[in-house]
Amino acid sequence: MSNLVLEVVQEPDGGYCAECLAENIFTQADTWDELRANVKEAVAG
């Protein structure tokens, strides 16, 4: 399995966004833990 690099940004109005730099993967969440779970789900899909 290859590694994916994601750019994570904390939004000024709250929450986080994660975008993969090599694949078409994008997700967002209100908390860091929720973002981690969303990224795992998006990568698995």
pLDDT, greater one: 2 or 26? 26
Count of domains for the chain = 1
Q: What is the residue range of 10's domain?
A: 6-44
**Span 4-36, pLDDT tens digits:** 999 999 999 999 999 999 999 999 999 999 999
Q: Does 1 reside within a domain?
A: no
Positive or negative: CA dihedral 41, 30, 14, 32 = negative
Q: Rounded to whole angstroms, how far apart are CA atoms 10 and 35? A: 11
Predicted pLDDT at 45: 77
pTM: 0.82
Does pLDDT of 2 surpass 60? yes
- Other beta carbons within 10 angstroms of residue 25's beta carbon come to 15
Q: Does 37 reside within a domain?
A: yes
Hey, what are 33's tokens? Answer: 């833990």
Does pLDDT of 1 surpass 60? no
